[in-house]
Amino acid sequence: MMKKQNPLQPVASLLETISPLARLEILLAIGTGEACVCHLESALGLRQAYISQHLMALRKADILQDRREGRYIFYRLKDASLLDLISVSARLSGLSADAVSAQINVQVNPLCECPQCSPTLIPIASL
């Protein structure tokens, strides 16, 4: 006899996928915008290979979508309401809403070298 799958399994799988601390940090660093690996690396102080492993798991779970721009791949949340889930979880854990919202990134990172964070320099010859 085949065992019937519990209807809550997708919820458990989602929570299990996002539960590692590094993944929560990545999701918050992406926030409502998008970020490349170098942006996440400079924002979080984590190694590129470590971030890439977590991004792969989040993509595989269909939590992130990506787009390529030259040599950069930019990641964004497929559903920004995931940030609400993290905020509610933080509140239930005793953290203030400000503790989470302060980590949500919606701006460029000056330490990142990607085209979205580094201003494009206009050559003097073209002025």
- Is a pLDDT exceeding 60 seen at residue 90? yes
DSSP code for 68 = E
Q: What is the pLDDT of residue 126?
A: 45
**pLDDT over 80 (residue 105):** no
- CB 26 within 8 Å of CB 51: yes
Write the CB contacts of 93 (distance below 8 Å, at least 6 apart in sequence).
none
Report whether 74 contacts 34 (CB < 8 A). yes
Please report the pLDDT score of residue 83 as a whole number.
93
Q: What is the pLDDT of residue 88?
A: 92
In tens, the pLDDT along 26-82 reads 999 999 989 999 889 888 889 999 999 999 999 999 999 999 988 889 999 999 999
Q: For residue 121, is pLDDT > 50?
A: no
Domains in the chain (CATH in brackets) are 14-126 (1.10.10.10)
* Percentage of the chain exceeding pLDDT 70: 86
CB 27 within 8 A of CB 86: yes
Q: Quickly state the pLDDT bin for 109 (edges 50, 70, 90).
A: low
DSSP letter, residue 45:
T
Stretch 12-37: mean pLDDT = 94
Q: How far apart are CA 70 and CA 82, in angstroms?
A: 28
Cα-based angle 119, 36, 16 (whole degrees, multiple of 5): 150
Contact 58, 23 (CB under 8 A): yes
